Homo-oligomer: A and B are copies of this chain.
Amino acid sequence: MIKFILFISIYLSTSVLLSQKGDTLFISSIYKEALTKGESYENLRKLCKDIGNRLSGSAAAQMAVEWGKNTMINYGFDSVYLQKIMVPHWDRGTTERAWIQVEKEQISLNILALGGSVSTNGLMNGDVIEFASLNELKKATAAQVQGKIVFINQHMADEEINTFKAYGGCSSIRLKGAIEAGKLGAKAVLIRSLGLAIDDHPHTGVMSYDSSVKKIPAAALSTQDADFLSLKLKSNKLKITLEMNCKTLEDEPSYNVIAEMRGNKSHKEIITFGGHLDSWDTGEGAHDDGAGVVHCMEALRILKKLNYSPQHTLRVVLFMNEENGNMGGKGYANFSSARGEKQIAALESDRGGFAPRGFSCDGNPNQVKFLETLASFFKPYELHVFEKGYGGVDIGPLKNQFPGIPLFGFVPDSQRYFDFHHTPNDVFENVNKRELELGAAAISSFIYLLDQNL
């Protein structure tokens, strides 16, 4: 009996070792394909340069849907199709300007309306009142704020090592600034852009209103202009003049773009992975989230190129409307559930096309432990983050429809992300080819390991 157990355990550990060796070799061929014959960079160039930025509801977003569909049809995946959803349609309009008068000089400020803002209805003019943070604004009285233009100059925390943490600690000024300023009777709200660098690119992004509070216009100042305005306010009372003719239109039909390789063993068990096809309406949506889109298309392309025969159905979803509504993410979870599918894992890439650091898991302790067991496969590729953490906005709704599903987030280096995020500077030229390709290779390898081990 003991001999038999010994035999079995040697047999098992040998076969585990053999299978690990096979995995290691296969991952090596994934990386080689991505780095020497990769298509992610050229795909990103097309998305950024031939289409450009692509806010939900825009003509460019529809072009991106067609591009994603056609590119994946050309890759010859088992099936490629569109899933219809309805998306909000906000339009920046044609005018967006702000200035202050300092003595005899009129000085322009560099602004971008926040996504979802109402217009100023022509020129709007008011005294500026500065607050160092959203909390300081909340402590103010209506008497102080009434009829003024509120300027929230809260800084993202430079001392945070991970920039997403710095962003998380500050993003409420964008999400809630108009509500809090509106409650106190402000005319409009300007926020310091959510970025760590001091530069001249304002950062847009979604804001929100509360139905019980008057809607006021909201825009972001570049960090440089926020510093400038703050400096000027130290020695002057200032009025700002503001004009923005952005507006919210009727909801529009749009689509998630879906492509898959059918599973051989259990094709009704789905591993979903994707990024979002929509972007803000400035720059080219290169890091946010063109990178995630081409990462995931490339991850599946490579598996097909290497003649990989998946056990479960591997499905890429290019989600629409992550930026201002998440209708794609919600719609996809409902769609999959309605079809009676079983979602066994999902991954999202939506943190830019930078050098890979690892993967995070939004899941239970066993799922996190499983993630940790994958770390050794990625050590030769300089990935080291394998820990509990966030999945992604688009795959988030899967949790409601498929309780217990592990959600994984691709984790690239975060240092440069908020230099580009939601700015005119988020362009193709700011994505490094190798960093992008290494991301695609890491994701392709990860999806392979999920398929092998789930």
- Please name all residues of chain B whose beta carbon is closer than 8 Å to the beta carbon of A163 when the two chains form the complex: 434
Assess whether A162 is interfacial by the CB under 8 Å rule.
yes
Task: Count residues of chain A with CB under 8 A from any CB of chain B.
Answer: 27
- Please name all residues of chain B whose beta carbon is closer than 8 Å to the beta carbon of A63 when the two chains form the complex: none
Q: Are A159 and B380 in contact (CB under 8 A)?
A: no
Chain B proximity mask over A25-56: 1 for CB below 8 Å, otherwise 0? 00000011001100000000000000000000
Number of copies of this protein chain within its complex: 2
Given A357-B382, A384-B384, A36–B432 Cβ distance below 8 Å? no
Given A158-B35, A159-B31, A416–B435 Cβ distance below 8 Å? yes
| Nearest CB on B from A136, distance (A) | 20
Distance in angstroms between the alpha carbons of A415 and B413 in the assembled complex: 12
Distance in angstroms between the alpha carbons of A101 and B192 in the assembled complex: 56
Assess whether A438 is interfacial by the CB under 8 Å rule.
yes
Q: Are A355 and B415 in contact (CB under 8 A)?
A: yes
Task: Give me 21 A-to-B residue pairs in the complex whose CB atoms sit less than 8 angstroms apart, sorted by A's number.
Answer: A31-B159, A32-B159, A35-B159, A36-B159, A158-B434, A161-B380, A161-B382, A162-B382, A163-B434, A196-B434, A197-B433, A197-B434, A355-B415, A382-B385, A382-B413, A384-B384, A415-B432, A415-B434, A416-B434, A416-B435, A419-B432
Instruction: Using A31-B159, A416-B435 as known contacts, list a sample of 18 further A-B pairs with CB atoms less than 8 Å apart, ordered by residue number in A.
Output: A31-B161, A32-B159, A35-B159, A36-B158, A158-B434, A161-B380, A161-B381, A161-B382, A162-B382, A197-B433, A355-B415, A382-B385, A382-B413, A384-B384, A415-B432, A415-B435, A416-B432, A419-B432
Instruction: Name A residues whose Cβ lies closer than 8 Å to a Cβ of B.
Output: 31-32, 35-36, 158-159, 161-163, 196-197, 355, 357, 380-382, 384-385, 413, 415-416, 419, 432-435, 438
